[in-house]
Amino acid sequence: MNMKTVRQTAREKLKGFCRVCPECNGKVCAGEVPGMGGMGTGASFKNNVEALAAFRLNMRTMHGVKQPDTGYELFGQKLLTPILAAPITGNNFNMGGALNEKEWAESIIQGCLTSGSMGCTGDAPDPTMYFAGVDVITEAEGRGIPIMKPRALDEVIKCLRYAEKARALAVGMDIDAAGLVTMAVSPKTKEEMKEIISNTSLPFIIKGIMTVDEAELALEVGAAAIVVSNHGGRFLDHTPGTAEVLPEIAAAIGRQIPVLVDGGVRTGVDVLKMLALGADAVLIGRPLITAAYGGGAEGVALVIRRMTNELKQAMVLTGCATLNDINMDVLY
Burial class (CB in 10 A: 0-12, 13-18, 19+), 138: middle
Task: Give the pLDDT score at 184.
Answer: 85
In this prediction, residue 75 carries a pLDDT of 98
Any idea which architecture 3-18+39-58+80-320 has in CATH?
A: Alpha-Beta Barrel (3.20)
CA 214 to CA 277: how far, in whole Å? Answer: 18
Where are the chain's structural domains? Answer: 3-18+39-58+80-320
In the chain, which residues have pLDDT < 70? none
- For 240-276, the pLDDT digits (tens) are 999 999 999 999 999 999 999 999 999 999 999 999 9
> In this predicted structure, what is the pLDDT of residue 182?
75
Positions marked active-site = 231
CA distance 222 to 89: 26
Contact 10, 294 (CB under 8 A): yes
Non-local CB neighbours of 80 within 8 Å, separated by 6+ positions: 70, 71, 72, 115, 116, 117, 308
Are the CB atoms for 43 and 25 separated by under 8 Å? no
Tens of pLDDT, residue by residue over 66-80, are 999 999 999 999 999
